[in-house]
Chain A
């Protein structure tokens, strides 16, 4: 079974979806590309949301 590196996925998600799809022979390439494109579209949509600098993420580290 083909191994898939995290770096490969990151590259695919952030850069070239085509590169990512090419690594996933066991997977229909169009499904992976569609999923990557969907994540990118979600990220772009959320990037438009105006946030004050003071807003912290909704989790806390507890010592």
Chain B
């Protein structure tokens, strides 16, 4: 059986549908892998999304999986499904660049735990995907801050894909991989997912092993799935989550995606800040207002909340800066840091090395207050909902350090503008859902819950996507 050529529907199919069609022998895993790998190699460079094609490795794996299926050795929904991984995850024997020129020839002899787990599930890695250099640890000012060039948004290639998981977001949005692994320290899954119109899940800190992943901030780094739907995110998270003695931050917990046992949505209280609707870029407001109507239509109770007034941005800067400065000390003192594309990022890393211990420790003590305040907040609400980003994707030549989009009107409070650093400081899970368009560009809504509440977020996300089809929209492909 040959895979139909030019069949775009297949490239946007859900993971469950792909698995069913594999099991029905509509196509072999080798055929499926060949089709996806050719597509990724052909179209990936158009979005600067491809770091390293792994066609030969993928075909070897695909043949093994076909043999397993032939002998009815089934491993679950991901068996035979191609995927891509952000190039900060090590794959033994192959370059892992961390998106940065000084590490362009770096090769590890071990494979990241998350990739090992997907391999065990029968998934087929077809390529490493591009990223912002060093995941932006020095603070980057330009979309071009990557060994692979600026991440180009499939919805409009003059716009940025977002970062630092730029390649995973573009590749999933354009249907070049069925799903991808990204990482987030403070926004690197949620932001590009929103800008590219895909569904991204940032897991609770410690739920997914970071072993074999580039470290930027030991206390804040997370690995998570970037997919077309909440359902797909749940399936991938189940495969990659779990205890790992090789990760000192491991929570020692597994995750089972069990939508059938999720809490009734009518029992959920969702916190929302009307101030956010006044803070968003004007063009995006109709989309966010429409999305909130869909949230209400799921049956949840919506109440007004505001984030506790704490210096989230400063805390994240200080903690990531201090930990990242230590991680990259050899790069900085060797002078190789100056090989980075963005001189602003190189300067930031140099400055990070001078952060005083007392300032880092103070930030980590205030972070304890952040955790406590969120514990209190979640005694009154089950989920927080807010725009993932308050604007659409900026242009690839825009200064990313530029001023925020002007607030429209005068918000009374801080709303949830700082939910990305706040949620990351507290180690909380977040799910970004495509929720409409502004000027032809996607916007996203994020759901944030208490630690290890992924099933609740996914249940609400799934119902949201049952009622609205923004996650099924496809960007215009350049062919």
A: residues with CB less than 8 A from B are 1-6, 9-14, 20, 24, 26-28, 31-32, 34-36, 38-39, 42-43, 45-47, 49, 51, 55-59
Please state if A39 and B335 are interface contacts (CB–CB under 8 Å). Answer: no
A to B CB contacts below 8 Å, 26 in the list: A1-B334, A1-B338, A4-B335, A6-B333, A11-B354, A13-B354, A14-B356, A24-B350, A27-B343, A28-B347, A31-B344, A34-B347, A35-B348, A39-B318, A42-B314, A42-B317, A42-B318, A45-B314, A46-B314, A46-B362, A47-B359, A51-B365, A51-B366, A56-B368, A58-B365, A58-B367
B134 shortest CB reach to chain A, Å = 15
Please state if B335 and A57 are interface contacts (CB–CB under 8 Å). Answer: no
- Whether A46 contacts B318 in the complex (CB less than 8 A), given A14-B356, A59-B219, comes out as yes
> Which A-B residue pairs are the 10 nearest by beta carbons?
A13-B354, A57-B364, A35-B351, A1-B335, A31-B347, A58-B367, A43-B359, A9-B353, A9-B354, A26-B338
Please state if B369 and A55 are interface contacts (CB–CB under 8 Å). Answer: yes
Please state if A32 and B353 are interface contacts (CB–CB under 8 Å). Answer: no
Within 8 A of A (CB), among B323-365: 329, 332-336, 338, 343-344, 346-348, 350-356, 359, 361-365
Bound-complex Cα distance A11 to B356 (A): 10
State whether the Cβ of B168 lies closer than 8 Å to any Cβ in chain A. Answer: no
Pick the contact of B364: A20, A32, A59 (CB < 8 A). A59
Pick the contact of B351: A11, A39, A46, A47 (CB < 8 A). A39
A22 shortest CB reach to chain B, Å = 13
B: residues with CB less than 8 A from A are 138-139, 219, 311, 314-315, 317-318, 321, 329, 332-336, 338, 343-344, 346-348, 350-356, 359, 361-371
Please state if A36 and B362 are interface contacts (CB–CB under 8 Å). Answer: no
- Whether A31 contacts B343 in the complex (CB less than 8 A), given A14-B356, A24-B350, A58-B365, comes out as yes
Please state if A51 and B362 are interface contacts (CB–CB under 8 Å). Answer: yes
Bound-complex Cα distance A34 to B367 (A): 25
Bound-complex Cα distance A35 to B347 (A): 6
- Whether A4 contacts B332 in the complex (CB less than 8 A), given A31-B344, A35-B350, A59-B219, comes out as yes
With most chain B CB atoms within 10 A of its CB, the pick from A12, A43, A55 is: A43
A1 shortest CB reach to chain B, Å = 4
In the complex, given contacts A14-B354, A20-B350, A49-B366, what are 18 additional A-B residue pairs having Cβ atoms less than 8 angstroms apart? A3-B334, A5-B333, A6-B329, A9-B353, A24-B347, A26-B335, A27-B346, A27-B347, A34-B347, A39-B317, A43-B355, A43-B362, A45-B311, A51-B365, A57-B361, A57-B367, A58-B365, A58-B368
Please state if B351 and A36 are interface contacts (CB–CB under 8 Å). Answer: yes
A19 shortest CB reach to chain B, Å = 11
* Minimal Cβ-Cβ distance residue in A for B313: A42
* Minimal Cβ-Cβ distance residue in B for A45: B314
A36 shortest CB reach to chain B, Å = 5
Bound-complex Cα distance A42 to B316 (A): 10
B232 shortest CB reach to chain A, Å = 32
Bound-complex Cα distance A50 to B55 (A): 56
Bound-complex Cα distance A53 to B272 (A): 33
Bound-complex Cα distance A57 to B128 (A): 36
Please state if B364 and A58 are interface contacts (CB–CB under 8 Å). Answer: yes
A46 shortest CB reach to chain B, Å = 6
Residues of A within 8 A of B365 (CB): 51, 55-58
Bound-complex Cα distance A49 to B333 (A): 32
* Minimal Cβ-Cβ distance residue in A for B316: A42
A8 shortest CB reach to chain B, Å = 9
Please state if B336 and A1 are interface contacts (CB–CB under 8 Å). Answer: yes
* Minimal Cβ-Cβ distance residue in B for A35: B351
Please state if B354 and A20 are interface contacts (CB–CB under 8 Å). Answer: yes
Please state if A28 and B343 are interface contacts (CB–CB under 8 Å). Answer: yes
Bound-complex Cα distance A58 to B364 (A): 5
Bound-complex Cα distance A35 to B311 (A): 19
Residues of A within 8 A of B344 (CB): 31, 35
Bound-complex Cα distance A2 to B338 (A): 10
A56 shortest CB reach to chain B, Å = 6
Please state if A43 and B343 are interface contacts (CB–CB under 8 Å). Answer: no
- Whether A43 contacts B356 in the complex (CB less than 8 A), given A2-B335, A6-B333, A35-B347, comes out as yes
Bound-complex Cα distance A28 to B75 (A): 54
Residues of A within 8 A of B356 (CB): 10, 13-14, 43
Bound-complex Cα distance A9 to B314 (A): 20
Residues of A within 8 A of B338 (CB): 1, 26-27
